[in-house]
Amino acid sequence: MSRKVHRYATVAAYLLVAVALTGACERLWSRRLPFVPTTLCCITPAGGDSPWIVIGGEGGSVTVLDAAGQPVREARLPATPTKILALFGEHAVVFGTNDGHIATCAMVLGHD
């Protein structure tokens, strides 16, 4: 089933779930996560027309969802990410971690 992705949506993660809501608080999608999320950021890939949702979580887990909530990338960091600092070029995301370090996660953000 294909769902239209609204231009103005709110994405949140709590406990083991990521959810996207319209401006009228209607659920667009929800996705069960394999980890407890600690940080979230929406990034539009270079050349892309819709954002990807980068979610970092306990144990150093990172997952990337497309605008429809489908997983497109996964990675593992050496510590739990607490802040997504920036997009580094087009191929990596920079995270602040709970042990006070900066970690980068290489991932191609362009569309498959």
Examine the pLDDT at 10 and tell me if it is beyond 70. yes
Q: Which of these, 82, 76, 11, 15, lies nearest to 44 by C-alpha position?
A: 11
Segment 25-82, tens digit of pLDDT? 888 899 999 999 999 988 877 677 778 889 999 999 999 998 899 998 899 999 999 9
Please indicate, yes or no, whether the overall pTM of this predicted structure exceeds 0.85: no
Examine the pLDDT at 112 and tell me if it is beyond 60. no
pLDDT of residue 21: 86
CB crowding 20-39: b at 16 or more within 10 Å, else e: bbeeeeeebbebebebebbb
Q: Which domains does the chain have, with CATH numbers?
A: 9-106 (2.40.128.630)
Residue scoring higher pLDDT (88 or 42): 42
Segment 49-64, tens digit of pLDDT? 778 889 999 999 999 9
